Amino acid sequence: MPKPKEVILGVTGSIAAYKACEIINRLKKRRVEVTAVMTKDAEEFITPLTLQALSANRVVRDLFALPENVNPVHISLAERADLTLIAPATANIIAKLSSGIADDTLTCLCLSTRAPIVICPAMNEKMFKHKITQENIARLKAAGYHFIGPEKGHLVCGERGIGHLADVDQIVAQTLKILK
């Protein structure tokens, strides 16, 4: 039996972080291993325990936690990953990745991996349409990053606009397509 594919799911500080639960469930049903990496801001919206229970894997939160082996955690994750999926991806994480900033586990992992990276933006429409955010997205696309969404939908501010996290079915379907 072939080794299951492994997706590293980056979860960042967005209200849409709760949708990571459904992404994990749907990937697991398709026999994909999922390991979650959370930013500190993500923990304001969802608990590591929830993601650990759903993924059946330890949630990685601290770049400086002692690794289980001699490899630093971000390197071992980068080597194991068949794909890194960041859902939801805030304007902050997109800007960090575009600038090469590596100040947490998720950004270090993204700079270390040779696996495809898929980014699913979720933010206010004004932030998404901002010239700098659009330049950051264009720069990441030029570097080979994949993007899914965002969609037009209900935003936390009460308005409707572009910036709503893409539909979970679409995220999972495109992730599986890129994995093949």
Query: Which of 26, 32, 50, 19 shows the shortest CA–CA distance to 120?
Result: 19
Candidate list 21, 108, 120, 157, residue with the active-site label: 157
Residues 6 or more apart from 118 whose CB is under 8 A from it? 83, 84, 85, 86, 87, 145, 146, 147, 148, 174, 175, 178
Element (H, E) at 154: strand 151-154
Q: Are strands 160-164 and 151-154 parallel, antiparallel or unpaired?
A: antiparallel
User: 63 and 75 in contact (C-beta within 8 Å)?
Assistant: no
> 137: how many CB neighbours lie within 10 A of its CB?
20
Query: Given CA atoms 53, 58, 59, 62 in this order, what sign does their dihedral have?
Result: positive
Give catalytic status of residue 110 as yes or no. Answer: no
Catalytic residues: 157
